Amino acid sequence: MDLLNHDIAHEFPQYLQKMRSLKVSNPHFAELFAQYDADNHTIAKYEQGVGVITDEALEDLKKRRLKTKDEIYQILKKD
């Protein structure tokens, strides 16, 4: 069980201000941010033993969260 904090603010603290700005000015970024946050909360819930999910379904959620995080990072690192 991985109970580390994986929210975007902890993942990319150096981009906090840019994230705030992009959430308001970039609808695609805002959508990615919301998707990541929802997946992250769902994963945390299952990892804490609230609810039942198969190992495969949990792994799929984690893979989707990682893909979303990668997309977010690509946007953040652009000038």
Q: What tens digit of pLDDT does each residue of 2-59 get? A: 456 788 989 999 999 999 999 999 999 999 999 999 999 999 999 999 989 999 999 9
Greater confidence, 24 or 79? 24
Distances (CA, A) of 60 to 3, 26, 35, 64: 17, 27, 14, 6
Please, where are the H alpha helices in the chain? 8-11, 16-25, 27-47, 55-76
DSSP-derived letter for residue 51 is: S
* pLDDT > 60? residue 65: yes
Q: What is the pTM of this model?
A: 0.87
pLDDT above 50 for 1: no
Instruction: For residue 77, give the DSSP letter.
Output: T
pLDDT average, residue stretch 61-79: 95
Residue 29 and residue 72 in contact, taking contact as beta carbons nearer than 8 Å: yes
- Residue with the larger pLDDT of the pair 14 and 1: 14
